[in-house]
A and B are shown apart, each in its own frame.
Chain A
C-alpha cells in the first residue's frame, strides 16, 4: 500500500512537473514564434583539433518552421553537420515530444530549469534533448541533443540585444568529430621531421563558435536561398 502510494505520488508529481515543464516550453516557444525569418550576420570560428581554419564571415538564414542555412559569401566555410539544431525551433516547434522536468541547475550565476525532451516516435533521429532554460527571461541557455547517428551536440547561447526575440548573440556549437587520417600515399606530405601529436583514436570534440553582430528579423527571405 505504502509502495503504491509512493508510486502514485511519484507519477502524480512528475505529471504535475511535466505539466509545468510543458507550460514553460510553451512560453519559450511563444517567444520564438514571434520570429518568422531572420538573416544574421556574424563570424564563425571553427575549433577542431586537426583543423586550421580562418575565421569566416557568414550569414545565417532562417525561415519557419525549421529551415536554416549558413552561407559564407566569399570564402570556404566548413559547416558541421547537425548544425541545423543551431536553431532551437528545430527542437521546440516540432510536436511529438514528451517533456520531463529534470530539476534545476546553474549556468554561470543563472539558475536554470532542466527539461528533457523525449521523442514519441522511437525511430526519430533525435534520441534525447536536454534544455537548460532561464525561467525568468524565458531563454534557452544551453541544449544537449543526442542523435542516433551523429553523436551528441551541445549548444551554448548567450543573449543580449536580441533577447526579446530569443535570438542569441553568440552560439557555441560542440560536436563529435571522427578521427581524421588520410593515407600518406594519397597526400605525399612533406615530412618536416617534427614529432607528431599522438592521437588516441577516441572521438574528439569540435567546436564552432558563431558571433552575430546583427539580425534582420521578419523581413522575408527568398526560397532560393535554401536550395
Chain B
C-alpha cells in the first residue's frame, strides 16, 4: 500500500516550547491510523501542521506523494477534517453549512448528495435547523459530514469523541470503521483514550512531549505480555507482602491508593486468580486497565517497585 502521509523530522517550536520534536511517521492507504498522546503531547499541533494551519519550524510533510508546501491546494482538496470541536456557522442551517464547505472545497456537489451526507450522519430531519440549536453530538456528526462532503481520500479526525455520551462514542466508532472498510478511506484519528484507538486502529502512533514513543500495528503495540491489571482486595498491604514472597514478585508493579497494579501476560491472569484464592485474599475485583498512562507504564522497560505500604 502506498503512503498517504509521510512525515519526516517534523518540528514546531513555539517561542520556548518545543511542541513537536523531529517527529517522523507514515500513514498508509486504507489505514485507520490511531494517533495517541496525552493532552498537550503535540497531537493537535501535528494535525494542524498537516492541515497547513500551523507552519512547521522544521521537517517535511508529504501527502499523497506531494509536498504540502508546494502542492497545498491539490492536497487539501482531497482531505477532510474535524479539528477539535467541530464548530460551524451557528447562524446557518445544517444544510447551508454543508453546502458552503462543499463549495469552498472546490467541488460541485448536487443538492441530493448533500442530503445524502446528512442522511449518513443521521441529521436529515434537522437539515433546515440552525446549528445553534444543535446538541454537541449533532454538531459532531455534522462536523464529520462537512469533512466527508467533498469525498476526500484522507480524513483527519482530531479527538472526535470528546464530549460525547457513550452512544455517541459508539456511533462515531462505527462510522470510522464504515469509512475505512466499506468506503476505502484512509482515516487518521487522534485521541488520548487508548481503548478507543485500540478498538478501531490498524496502525498506531504514540507520542509524548512532541516525540515519537512508538509506532506500529495495533497487535505489535498492545502486547498481551505487558497487560496492566488492577487488583482490588480487602487487605492490600498484606496481599502485596504475601505476593512478594511468591513467583509473582516480578509482576508487582505499584500501588495506587487501595489498588495494586500488576504487569503480566494476559494468559497468566487465571493462574494469578488461583494464587490469590490460595492465599485466602478477598478479591473485590481484578481487571485489565486501558488508559494511556498505564500504557506508558507498561512499555517502560523496568518495573518500578514503589512500596508505599511498607511504611
Direct contact, A vs B (beta carbon within 8 Å)? no
Question: Chain B interface (Cβ within 8 Å of chain A)?
Answer: none
